Amino acid sequence: MDSDVRRIAASLVKLQKQLNAGLAHHPEMPVTLPQLMLLNLAHHHGSCRLTELAERIEVKPSAVTVMVDRLEKRGFVRRVQDPGDRRAVRVEVTAEGREALRKAGELRSELLARFMDRLEPAEVRKLADLLERMTGAETLA
């Protein structure tokens, strides 16, 4: 069992690295991977303070400031005043940012589909069933 767990862990890490590399070098990728992480966090958690984002992605606040500056220039996020603390600034994802997230998700799915092409359709269904069972997700079909 332990050797199987190690094989699965190694394969998951390798798959994630290959997907990330494919995304990072895809000509249609709208943002960098760190920017994508920041956009995802701000989208899923609602507007966030810069310090919250820095803590969540485990980087210095100055690094988040630079990322937000770049995302804001491209219209993917906007800074808004925190209603609870006039000194603080929150980051909100714009419609353009949500579109960038949608596009990145679409590209990730396309890349993952290429990996799935190595499997038979029945294997893909079985893998999906097993992953859903492992993660506690219910089948959407």
CA–CA gap between residue 95 and residue 107 (Å, rounded): 18
Q: Determine, yes or no, domain membership for 109.
A: yes
Q: How are beta strands 77-82 and 85-93 bridged, if at all?
A: antiparallel
Q: Determine, yes or no, domain membership for 140.
A: no
The pLDDT tens digits for 79-113 are: 999 888 888 889 999 999 999 999 999 999 999 99
The total number of structural domains that make up the chain: 1
The pLDDT tens digits for 21-74 are: 999 999 999 999 999 999 999 999 988 899 899 999 899 989 999 999 999 999
pLDDT score recorded for residue 139: 53
- What is the Cα 127 distance to its own chain's centre? 22
Domain limits for position 59? 2-133
Q: Determine, yes or no, domain membership for 139.
A: no
**In CATH, what number is assigned to the domain containing residue 81?**
1.10.10.10
| Sheet of 77-82, strands arranged across | 48-49, 85-93, 77-82
Q: Determine, yes or no, domain membership for 138.
A: no
